[in-house]
Amino acid sequence: MSAPDVDATGPEDSAPARRTSAARLAAVLVAVLVGALVAGTVIYTRGGFSEAGGLGETVIGEGGSYAETDFTRSAPGDCLTWNDDAAETPTKVPCTEPHRFEVAGTVNTAQFPGSEFGLDAPAPTPERYAELRDEHCGVIVERYLGGGLDPQGRFAVGLMFPSKAQWDRGARVLRCGIEQPGPGGVHQEFAGRVADSDQSFAWPDGTCIGIDDATRKPTAEPVNCAEPHAFQTTGVVDLSQRFGARDSGRPWPSVADQNQYLQTICPNRTNRFFGGVQKFRETTLNVQWSVISEVSWNTGSRRVACYVALPDRGGFAKLVGDAREQVLINGKIPTPPAQGPPGRALPTPVPLPPGYSPNDQEVPAPGRLRRRTPVAVKMSDADFEILVGEALDLLPAELMNAMDNVVIMIEPYNPENRNLLGLYTGVALTERTHDYAGFLPDTIEIYREIILSICRTPDEVREQVAVTVLHEIGHHFGIDDHWLEEHGWG
């Protein structure tokens, strides 16, 4: 007999072909741990997540009879859906509407050599269907999307097959396609064609992601926060705003570039999520985030997740509870550590320029003072965050790599001194000794409303943000105000 008939062509309105990605390369999804462990990384692959593959607890097509149905008539480019209690009767819907399966191609097993799929042959077992999916559907989906399925994203290759009654009456054509696996093997609904969708994971803020007890790795399945989990999300960041949309043609930003951008945004998103930096500090968790690998970037994925977690023994600590209320870390209530090492002295007070008087409530610490002007610039929080990211881009790579245990946060103003443009609090790298370990991160705070209040144009804001950010980073490296002022960063 001839080779199996594999059809991955679709109607004119089917998913457009994308440029060929590096899908065959070994791909990993890197989660960069910052906060108390800026240089730490955890690497985990898509294989670490649960894959339903269309062959979970639900048997699609089971219980129907072999008559022409939307399933047997479906062609590449069609989208199918079903109710949870009626999986045996999938129906075709426009792909713009919520659905559970996008057909990418067909496999006619009647054309396979031998008698395994002959007219008198019994229906394959679920295990055999899984083998057929793995043998044929990956290639079909890759061809259908032009190589554009993100191996680390929320979608997976799936297989739909005839019900036993249909099989017994001669139905032999299988459907390969794309699905979005959910908890317990349930197929989640999604809208839009996969080729036109951002395939990256994007959970709602506050979502808790399960943990594998054996590996201490995330399962990628949302769970009730009262159950054991690896991390809790605090925000989603769309990298297209900084590095280019999926159709921009811009190249993949390196992990270092993504980290520079996200190390400002994610701490601020997290502070807002908790309702303030102090509430977050009390959890003792770290601010962390995912980054996009090159293979995922080439498929159009652009979103990353900010989340809170704690590294533990090569994986994640087991969290129980909503971190905004009360969280247990490996079964224990967290105890916030001291702010700094024993015997640490207060930093040098701020040297004030002539004509300024110190605020009665001012806390002695290196900081940037504002100059006064009656004009203020209006700017969104997101645009201001981008300017802080641009300021970090001015740093040479060797300096960025040398920064250790420090987070940059954006606040409206300093409640104790509203003249400050920025403030560094912590133990400078030059003051750390061999026993420096286990302490909360140093902080660099940039005061958005104060900077905007002294600037007349967006360009002035950009310049002032850059000066303030680099000034405070200078304190992290142990540089005093006198040197910074002499070199134009005062």
Full DSSP string of 348-377: PPPPPPTT----TT---S-EEEPPP-S---
pLDDT in tens, 407-432: 899 999 888 887 789 998 888 888 87
Give the per-residue pLDDT at 490: 56
pLDDT in tens, 74-84: 999 999 998 87
| Exposed e or buried b per residue across 285-296, where buried means at least 16 C-beta atoms within 10 angstroms of its C-beta | bbbbbbbbbebb
Output the DSSP codes for 307-318. Answer: EEE-EETTEEPP
| Exposed e or buried b per residue across 354-368, where buried means at least 16 C-beta atoms within 10 angstroms of its C-beta | eeeeebeebbebbbb
Reported as a pLDDT band with limits 50, 70 and 90, residue 250 is: very high
Q: How far apart are CA 265 and CA 380, in angstroms?
A: 13
What is the token pair recorded at 253? 């930003």
The gap from C-alpha 416 to its chain's centroid, in whole angstroms, comes to 35
- The predicted model scores a pTM of 0.57
- Select the more confidently predicted residue: 388 or 490: 388
Give the per-residue pLDDT at 406: 85
What is the token pair recorded at 205? 């803020």
| CA nearest neighbour of 446 among 417, 473, 480, 421 | 421
What is the token pair recorded at 320? 């129980």
pLDDT in tens, 370-396: 444 435 688 898 899 999 988 888 888
Give the per-residue pLDDT at 489: 57
Task: Evaluate if residue 439 carries a pLDDT over 80.
Answer: no
pLDDT in tens, 445-461: 999 988 998 888 888 89
Mean pLDDT of all residues in the chain? Answer: 76
Task: Check if the beta carbon of residue 127 is closer than 8 Å to that of residue 83.
Answer: no
Give the per-residue pLDDT at 281: 86
